[in-house]
Amino acid sequence: MPKSPQGFAEQQRSVAAACHRLAEAGLLIGTAGNVSVRAGEHIAVTATGAVLGRITPEQVTVIGPDGDVVAGHLRPTSEVELHSGIYQRYDAGAVVHTHSPHATALSLVLDELPCVHYQQLVLGGTVRVAPFATFGSPELADQVLSALDGRSAALMANHGAVVHGPTLEQAVDNALLLEWVCGLYLRAANLGVPRVLDEDQQAAVIRAALRRGYGTTHPIDDTTHSIEESR
């Protein structure tokens, strides 16, 4: 019998809240997709068949290292093997799988999404498309795990997208970023052939981001104040 979910209440609430955010952004539709977060050796993951935009913490199931349910009373998503594999191979903190419109559209026609915008480097650069395999199958998990090598995002041919991150918040942000990049590519491809950032350009962006601390806030120091006051 599953144990009381009390010990995992925070993780169950956070997964439900992440689903609501993703659904509001249009990335999760109906019951399509799944979200999980690591809780030590356990995984809190959405239950199969749950309407993700309205999911409650009680519809988030917690499984142990052996795959047994330890909290909750609903079967976990059919993609639980994929989630478990990502945690084991990439030491992720959270996983998001969506059938988001732009990402899924590109999964129908591309073998790889090239790096067309420097923000894509947050995901590792180019995004591979894992070959099609039946949902919930070991074959699908294997294909996606390979596509994620050195990346935090992958497309799944004729299926959708998957991302991971060190935290649930970062995984959600990665899912939103991937969908934005896919939409950008789709719109650009309607106008012509999208320009791709080459390896030198990508490396230059990475160096600049590290030098400037890109993506984080910075306090204004006394030197900055003095420069501004002297202008």
Q: Is 36 exposed, middle or buried (0-12, 13-18, 19+ CB in 10 A)?
A: buried
What value, to the nearest 5°, has the Cα angle with vertex 180 and ends 177 and 186? 145
Active site members: 79
Helix (H) or strand (E) holding 112: strand 112-113
Q: Which residues contact 113 (CB under 8 A, 6 or more apart)?
A: 106, 126, 127, 129, 155, 181, 182, 185
Backbone angles phi, psi at 171, to 5 degrees: -65, -40
Nearest CA among 196, 76, 90 for reference residue 153: 90
Beta strands at 34-39 and 42-46: parallel, antiparallel or unpaired: antiparallel
Beta strands at 60-63 and 42-46: parallel, antiparallel or unpaired: antiparallel
N residues, the chain: 231
What value, to the nearest 5°, has the Cα angle with vertex 224 and ends 223 and 229? 100
**Where would I find the H helices in the chain?**
9-24, 80-90, 101-107, 138-147, 168-191, 199-212, 222-230
Nearest CA among 57, 56, 37 for reference residue 45: 37
